[in-house]
Amino acid sequence: MLELIDITKVYKGQKRAVDGLTLRLGPGLVGLLGPNGAGKSSLLRIAATVTRPTRGQVRFDGADAVTRPAPLRRALGYLPQDFGVYPHLTGQEFLTYLAAVRGLSHRSARARVGELLDLVNLAHAAKRPLGGYSGGMLRRVGIAQALLADPRVIVVDEPTAGLDPEERVRFRNLLSDLSADRSVLLSTHIVSDVESVATRIVVMAAGRIRFDGDPGDLVRSVAGHVWELPVAPADLPGVQQRMPVTRQIRTGGHVRVRVLATQRPAPDATPVAPDLSDAYLAVTR
Ligand SMILES: Nc1ncnc2c1ncn2[C@@H]1O[C@H](COP(=O)(O)OP(=O)(O)OP(=O)(O)O)[C@@H](O)[C@H]1O
């Protein structure tokens, strides 16, 4: 089990990026949601032992992973937000090189790289230089390298950036399968990335946890507080100032808005069932 206990991270001359946060990860897929600047990447870098926390403990299977990170590093697959590649190497060469860095024997590296290229649907491009790969293909190389050593803990930072809708679905399903007997921590600011696959949602804002629990409980926390109402386009700015608008749909000359309000916000407002996006907005506000 990976435990992040009372973690604070302060960068030089900055406010707290992570502010006394505790997170314990067992098997399953945890969706870490939060707006830009919430501190998600900082927390993930600490979990991946790339950065040390200013204060707090990282424990892996009960042992301190800040002063002795090796056991966690061996068990970890990490895909950072700014994952870089060597453009002159082919996909196969690059993954084989990283497998060697991770200590896989030549023989098992060959087999593993082949398996992973199939898994991320890049077998057809294995012998082409990475410099010619699209953004989505490079993302898939990043995912493959995170899985090289069959990790028990998988930490992925905004992994679906640059993927097309079909690739997003495939990737979500892959992580969901992997999380059956592993810990997967996936950070994103896109609610739909975790909506159908997360067994637990952690919402972070300004370095702190705003919600940690079952996705259904998060949605239920705003039951009765989500409404839809028609608005004339000229009145829209006023509505946006008075209450949080979670969505707006233009139809003809009108706009239908979806808003958060504890009480019926207008006589013609109708109550609607909340979804995860509504609840996410409510807790990060
Ligand atoms: N290396 C760094 N040096 C100084 N400040 C940093 C550094 N990394 C992050 N920060 C600051 O810490 C805060 C949290 O950033 P972080 O990248 O962890 O958030 P995030 O939730 O991952 O956001 P994003 O989705 O935009 O990456 C921000 O105010 C950011 O500017």
- Which ipTM did the prediction report? 0.95
DSSP bridge partners of 28: 183
- pLDDT for res 158: 87
**Tens of pLDDT along 186-210?**
999 889 888 888 999 999 999 999 9
Which residue, judged by its Cα, is nearest atom 5 of ligand 1? Answer: 11
Instruction: Please tell me the pTM assigned to this model.
Output: 0.91
Predicted local distance difference test score (pLDDT) of residue 269: 93
Residue 14's pLDDT is what? 82
Neighbour-count burial of 180, counting CB atoms closer than 10 A to its CB (0-12 exposed, 13-18 middle, 19+ buried): exposed
- Ligand 1 pocket check: which of 41, 81, 156, 191 to mutate, most ligand atoms within 8 Å of Cβ? 41
Give the pLDDT score at 27.
93
Q: In degrees rounded to 5, what are phi and psi of residue 109? A: -65, -45
- What does the pLDDT read at residue 186? 95
Segment 128-131 long-range contacts (CB within 8 Å, at least 24 positions apart)? 128/90, 128/91, 129/87, 129/88, 129/89, 129/90, 130/85, 130/86, 130/87, 130/88, 130/89, 130/90, 130/91, 130/94, 131/87, 131/88
Residue nearest to atom 8 of ligand 1 (CA): 42
Helix (H) or strand (E) holding 32, with range, is strand 28-33
Looking at residue 131, its pLDDT comes to: 95
50-107 pLDDT, tens digit per residue, is 999 999 999 999 999 999 999 999 999 999 988 889 999 999 999 999 999 888 898 9
Which pLDDT belongs to residue 50? 95
Q: Which two tokens stand for residue 186?
A: 């996936």
How many residues are listed for the chain in this entry? 285
State the amino acid at position 49 in one-letter form: T
Residues near ligand 1 with C-beta < 6 Å? Answer: 11, 14, 17, 34, 36-42, 81, 189
Identify which of 4, 136, 31, 146 has the alpha carbon closest to the alpha carbon of residue 79. Answer: 146
DSSP E strands, 126-253: 153-157, 183-188, 200-205, 208-213, 226-231, 245-251
- Which residue's CA is the nearest one to ligand 1's atom 11? 17
32 C-alpha to ligand 1 centroid (Å): 15
CA of 36 to the centre of ligand 1 (A): 8
pLDDT at 13: 82
Segments of the chain with pLDDT less than 50:
none
